Amino acid sequence: MDSRREVEESSTAPILESKRTRSNGKGKSIDGDHSPPHAATVVTTKATPLQKGGMKKGIAILDFILRLGAIGAALGAAVIMGTNEQILPFFTQFLQFHAQWDDFPMFKFFVVANGAAAGFLILSLPFSIVCIVRPLAAGPRFLLVIVDLVSKNSI
Sequence spans of domains, the chain: 54-88+95-154
CA distances for 59 relative to 26, 67, 69, 96, angstroms: 53, 12, 15, 52
How many CB atoms within 10 Å of residue 74? 20
Rounded-to-integer distance, Cα 24 and Cα 21, Å: 8
Report the pLDDT value the prediction gives residue 70, as an integer from 0 to 100. Answer: 93
pLDDT of residue 35: 56
pLDDT value at residue 49: 65
pLDDT means over runs of 10, the chain (155 residues): 52 52 55 59 70 83 94 94 80 74 84 90 93 89 88 68
d(CA 150, CA 144): 10
Element (H, E) at 96: strand 96-100
8-state DSSP, 47: P
Q: Which residues contact 144 (CB under 8 A, 6 or more apart)?
A: 63, 124, 127, 128, 131
In eight-state DSSP terms, residue 92 is S
Q: Supply the pLDDT for residue 67.
A: 93
Q: Phi/psi at 98 (nearest 5 deg)?
A: -95, 120
pLDDT at res. 72: 95
Where helices occur in 38-154 by DSSP H, the ranges are 54-83, 105-133, 138-154
- Asked whether 64 and 71 are in contact (CB, 8 A), the reply is no
pLDDT of residue 149: 87
